[in-house]
Structure 1
């Protein structure tokens, strides 16, 4: 469940690290061997560069990757590993940056989601989050032998998956692991709880049930922060705290502030993160010229607001957006080019203005968002029942 901010955190920046960049032709400007996308070398290099630059969060996109071009030649299809695996690989090699993989909630078993994300929280030292996705593709349903889900069903599936994951994270009390050598007891079974979850569609035969408890001890953060794209969940789900952060976009950068304000009203208590595609002037070439060159290979189709210009102009835009939003997630057109400009010119300028929180080694994602660490709902229920019995 989402909790109110304990303090008013300063702004933060997230960086999407998928492939070679957000533009489908980004690989043409990459400065690494193609195999590095699949052997961990690229993940290590980009996440460390993002952390060194002062980014607070790294996100990892996932899902199927159709050809960007209309021909059947397989042009401009980026290579990638599974998002959760990339984030887990990055955990031990980083020290302060938050790691947030995108994980589908419709065609992925929620029990597996919760345990894998809990494991990520452990390997990252409490720096993990969950970017909720909900695939509406028929091919994704067919790949796992499930009926296709669309429309409002996507939001229901997402909300159910978040809720059962949170219950599973709570199913181990914080002190359930006792490691009592004398008695040979590793866990106190009285501190493990059944979650007894049934999805909204369970009674119709289209849903599922989860008994629990989890097979992983409670995450270091208690519950991982959950990020949800705006429009996926309805007003009731948002007001009930289904999301800890909401990602918003707009047709143009100038409209981002308004979208952020609307999202804050719809999701009280949740952090608001604005989405922005970025193409910067770089290496003596204008941003518009760079974009035209890339689009000549494969046009960039994106629903996000797009900034095309200089580092100074982007700094002013981000400063304006951060007056309304808590954070901004940047999607660089070409990581090997735009990340250098962001690191050398944009982030230092924002820090000089005092607009960004200082990344702190040893802090958690919940710390960054200003969220308290929640108590296990089952532990709280047990304490309440015990207290009532005593009286």
Structure 2
């Protein structure tokens, strides 16, 4: 059954599904993501909880080979993950998923999270700037290889053109990174960056997530290209159809997920309000987001 029908006056809503990892065996995880893909979801997000067997990034990578259209967005925390590793891990996932990678920006500042990695709890007045720096340097690292840096020239024995791989030379208050990234540029150029407006970095996001309709206009004013509303599985979406770009569903348990997949989503499809992804497109393409030009390639062209 097709789920891509659209009404005459509305392009449809993008749907995202949160899978928090609780009690998810590898089989349940794979089956849940597959069901969301069949239903027409554009994105699935992964958070972490204390005691999870696998971290969010590993779970996203695990399902990348068994899916074809759905975007994969693990939560990776900015305050407890080394930024170079963060950018590399996410770029690798974008490669393995053929351009379906995204990043939910996390900012766990709990003592337990810091203790697990040997870092220290951040002072409240420095958190926002550190988050901004991590997003900034991640985007720079994803740009550090130009799109045509890999040449595979057998005659000369050169794998890449060194003039098209750039040091980012980031110096900030919290860390310094020379770069470049150790992997070629991600298929999307840059991964889709998703974050809650409460982080205070909406202008750096591709998708801003709001918890209340009163925050939608502010998120757009602050520069978010797309705004998703965080909702539960049984929400009445009619009042928000014309004011948000997408919905992030957070079903609490298997029964709520079943109601969502078997009830809410088919109703949206029948009403022409489901904007399902297309096979063969990257996540950016499916979300209608442009593919960024590498800032380093652009700088060379402008000189």
1:264-319 CA distance string (max 9 Å, x none): 22x224211111233xxxxxxxxxxxxxxxxxxxxxxxxxxxx5xxxxxx3xx213
Shift of 1:363: 1.4
- Equivalent residue, structure 2, for 1:286: none
1:247 maps to 2:216: no
Aligned pairs for 1:322-333 within 5 A: 322-333=241-252
Q: Secondary structure at the match of 1:228?
A: strand
1:139 maps to 2:123: no
1:182-203 CA distance string (max 9 Å, x none): 110001011000101112x2xx
Aligned pairs for 1:225-264 within 5 A: 225-233=192-200, 237-238=201-202, 241-249=203-211, 256-264=212-220
Shift of 1:150: 3.5
Shift of 1:55: 1.5
2:35 to 38, 42, 49: 49
1:182 to 140, 151, 155: 155
Q: Secondary structure at the match of 2:152?
A: strand
Shift of 1:257: 2.2
Contact 1:322/1:328 (8 A) holds in 2: no
1:60 to 46, 64, 80: 46
Q: Secondary structure at the match of 1:194?
A: coil
Shift of 1:48: 0.7
- Equivalent residue, structure 2, for 1:288: none
- Equivalent residue, structure 2, for 1:303: none
Q: Secondary structure at the match of 1:15?
A: strand
Shift of 1:155: 1.3
| Residues 80 and 330 (structure 1), Cα distance of their counterparts in 2 relative to 1, 3 Å cut | farther
Contact 2:231/2:250 (8 A) holds in 1: yes
1:218 to 185, 200, 206: 185
In the superposition, the TM-score normalised over structure 1's length comes to 0.72
1:59-78 CA distance string (max 9 Å, x none): 1002x52xxxxxxxxxxxx6
2:93 to 111, 114, 120: 120
Distance 1:79 1:111 in 2: 24
Count of aligned pairs: 294
Bigger Cα displacement from structure 2, 133-142 vs 94-103: 133-142
Shift of 1:339: 2.1
Distance 1:270 1:324 in 2: 13
1:39-97 CA distance string (max 9 Å, x none): x22221111111112221111002x52xxxxxxxxxxxx64411011101111100111
Larger radius of gyration: 1
Contact 2:15/2:275 (8 A) holds in 1: no
Aligned pairs for 1:288-299 within 5 A: none
Structure 1 unaligned residues grouped into runs of 5+: 1-7, 21-26, 28-35, 66-77, 202-206, 250-255, 279-306, 308-313, 386-391
Distance 1:320 1:120 in 2: 36
- Equivalent residue, structure 1, for 2:79: 106
Q: Secondary structure at the match of 1:164?
A: helix
2:223 to 262, 268, 277: 268
Bigger Cα displacement from structure 2, 157-166 vs 337-346: 337-346
1:299-349 CA distance string (max 9 Å, x none): xxxxxxxx5xxxxxx3xx213223211111111111x22222222221111
1:165 to 118, 138, 141: 138
Contact 2:205/2:224 (8 A) holds in 1: no
1:11 maps to 2:13: yes
Shift of 1:262: 2.8
User: Runs of 4+ in structure 1 displaced over 4 angstroms?
Assistant: none
1:232-262 CA distance string (max 9 Å, x none): 12xxx53xx311111111xxxxxx3222233
Distance 1:19 1:222 in 2: 28
Distance 2:257 2:104 in 1: 22
Q: Secondary structure at the match of 1:179?
A: strand
Distance 1:161 1:19 in 2: 25
| Residues 79 and 246 (structure 1), Cα distance of their counterparts in 2 relative to 1, 3 Å cut | same
Aligned pairs for 1:148-163 within 5 A: 148-163=121-136
Bigger Cα displacement from structure 2, 216-225 vs 10-19: 10-19
